[in-house]
């Protein structure tokens, strides 16, 4: 009928009555009739199955006091946040503002927390971090296994975080977590062209194995600890090799590597690092220098071989001289030697010798 309005409100609904844009009260379940000839009456029917009461005139509704027994009203200040549980299940986080939740259909529990403490800790943090609206109010970060997180708030170091889940309120202070890997890792210092003291240019490939033991130093002392270690190793290599001749370096390569490691270790400790090892992996000579070194090595080996041959020859001559002197001084031994020679000749050439009168053996020996 013209001028008469009818509103039916179900058992799980609530009516918000407005006249001339002003909130006048709540309408319970049932059928409600209004005579509205001037079209000034309006009723918003809200379902209480969704406890969160969202309305453009919520401030007027709250101010009227009609929600006092029917809803949970939250007026969160700038430094306050609210955690909302519905039916004992976490639902969402609320930033500062005005909110209302119906309590007639579902159980609603609200926990108001102080956001002045930037670091947010809670027993149900894992559940809370997965909830809606979390990105608008919380910075959530996870520190993985074998890592630590260095926490800075407003640019100041606060703590070193063990592996786990962490959250920080937005809008209060600037929080930053720098994740650091504590596992042993390597820096490959390759392709370094370095001139030795005797003006020979070498290409050196070295490798540094290290791990971070002080995460705060590793973050605070330099913007890139890995690059800083690379530069330091590079400089130490140049200093050590530049002070040595090529021959000395090649002979004392292991000792040079230990000196390099000691120098790198001192700088690494200032960066929060522990050096496990420093090694020279490759030493690459220029092409002409490589040929020259090969020729030098070849000449040395030839000289050594010649020296050995001369020593063997001298030893053989000395042995022959000793044998000749021994035979000269012992006629019987000389005779036995002659018989051995004759035996060898006879065995090789099938020669039969018959010794008769005295002096025949001497004649046969002379004949041979």
> Which single residue is written with the structure tokens 């090969």?
294
Residue 91 belongs to some domain of the structure: no
Q: Which of 215-219, 228-232, 247-251 has the lowest mean pLDDT?
A: 247-251
Residue 301 belongs to some domain of the structure: no
- Choose among 113, 183, 177, 118: nearest CA to 146: 183
CATH number at residue 261: 3.30.479.30
Residue 79 belongs to some domain of the structure: yes
What radius of gyration do the chain's Cα atoms show? Answer: 50
Judgement on whether residues 196 and 157 belong to the same structural domain of the protein: no
Per-residue pLDDT tens digits for 90-138: 999 999 999 999 998 999 999 999 998 899 999 999 999 988 788 889 9
Angle between helices 287-329 and 331-349 (to 10 degrees): 120
Assigned token pair, 42:
């309006």
Judgement on whether residues 227 and 177 belong to the same structural domain of the protein: no
Residue 112 belongs to some domain of the structure: no
Could you give the CA distance from residue 362 to residue 42 in angstroms, rounded to a whole number? 156
Per-residue pLDDT tens digits for 181-224: 999 999 998 888 888 888 888 888 899 999 999 999 999 988 89
Residue 359 belongs to some domain of the structure: yes
Please state the length of the chain. Answer: 368
Residue 330 belongs to some domain of the structure: yes
Phi, psi of 319 (to 5 degrees): -65, -40
Assigned token pair, 188:
């490959």
H or E element, residue 367: helix 360-367
Judgement on whether residues 178 and 191 belong to the same structural domain of the protein: no
Q: Of the candidates 72, 106, 140, which is a domain's last residue?
A: 106
- Choose among 120, 104, 100, 16: nearest CA to 59: 100
Per-residue pLDDT tens digits for 348-359: 666 555 555 555
Judgement on whether residues 141 and 189 belong to the same structural domain of the protein: no
Q: Of the candidates 39, 74, 106, which is a domain's last residue?
A: 106
The residues, any chain, with a CB within 8 Å of residue 60's CB and separated by 6 or more, are 22, 23
Q: Are 275 and 261 in contact (CB under 8 A)?
A: yes
Residue 43 belongs to some domain of the structure: yes
Q: What is the pLDDT of residue 353?
A: 57
Residue 289 belongs to some domain of the structure: no
Judgement on whether residues 59 and 14 belong to the same structural domain of the protein: yes
Number of structural domains in the chain: 4
- Choose among 256, 250, 235, 241: nearest CA to 199: 241
**pLDDT confidence tier of residue 342, bands split at 50, 70 and 90:** low
- Quote the distance between the C-alpha of residue 358 and its chain's center: 100
Q: Average per-residue pLDDT in the chain? A: 85
Is 363's pLDDT higher than 60? Answer: no
Judgement on whether residues 158 and 230 belong to the same structural domain of the protein: no
Judgement on whether residues 236 and 261 belong to the same structural domain of the protein: yes
Judgement on whether residues 189 and 279 belong to the same structural domain of the protein: yes
Q: Of the candidates 182, 199, 232, which is a domain's last residue?
A: 182
Could you give the CA distance from residue 306 to residue 325 in angstroms, rounded to a whole number? 29
Could you give the CA distance from residue 107 to residue 62 in angstroms, rounded to a whole number? 20
Q: Which domain holds residue 75?
A: 1-85+100-106
> Which single residue is written with the structure tokens 């979390």?
134
Q: What is the pLDDT of residue 48?
A: 93
> Which single residue is written with the structure tokens 């800075």?
152
């Amino acid at each position: 009928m013209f001028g008469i309005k009818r509103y039916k409100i179900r058992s799980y609904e609530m009516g918000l009555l407005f006249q001339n844009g002003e909130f006048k009260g709540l309408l319970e379940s049932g059928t409600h009739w209004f005579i509205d000839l001037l079209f000034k009456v309006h009723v918003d029917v809200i379902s209480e199955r969704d406890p969160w009461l969202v309305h453009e005139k919520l401030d007027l509704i709250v101010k009227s006091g009609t929600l006092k027994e029917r809803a949970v009203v939250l007026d969160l200040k700038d430094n306050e946040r609210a955690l909302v549980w519905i039916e004992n299940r976490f639902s969402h986080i609320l930033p500062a503002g005005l909110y209302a939740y119906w309590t007639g259909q579902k159980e609603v529990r609200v926990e108001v927390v102080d956001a002045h403490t930037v670091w947010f800790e809670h027993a149900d943090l894992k559940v809370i971090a997965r909830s809606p609206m979390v990105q608008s109010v919380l910075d959530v970060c996870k520190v993985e296994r074998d890592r630590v997180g260095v926490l800075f708030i407003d640019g100041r170091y606060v703590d070193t975080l063990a592996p786990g889940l962490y959250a920080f309120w937005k809008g209060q202070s600037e929080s930053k977590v720098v994740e650091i890997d504590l596992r042993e890792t390597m820096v490959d210092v390759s392709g370094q062209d370095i001139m030795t003291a005797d003006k020979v240019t070498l290409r050196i490939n070295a490798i540094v194995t290290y791990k971070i033991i002080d995460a705060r130093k590793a973050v605070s002392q330099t913007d890139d600890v890995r690059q800083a270690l690379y530069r330091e190793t590079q400089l130490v290599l140049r200093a050590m090799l530049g002070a040595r001749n090529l021959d000395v370096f090649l002979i004392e390569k292991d000792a040079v590597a230990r000196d390099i490691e000691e120098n790198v270790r001192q700088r690494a400790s200032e960066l929060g690092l522990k050096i496990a090892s420093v090694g020279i992996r490759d030493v690459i000579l220029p092409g002409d220098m490589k040929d020259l070194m090969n020729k030098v090595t070849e000449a040395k080996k030839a000289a050594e071989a010649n020296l050995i041959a001369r020593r063997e020859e001298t030893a053989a001559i000395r042995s022959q001289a000793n044998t000749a002197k021994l035979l000269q001084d012992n006629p019987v031994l000389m005779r036995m030697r002659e018989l051995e020679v004759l035996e060898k000749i006879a065995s090789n050439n099938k020669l039969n010798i018959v010794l008769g009168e005295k002096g025949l053996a001497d004649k046969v020996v002379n004949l041979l």
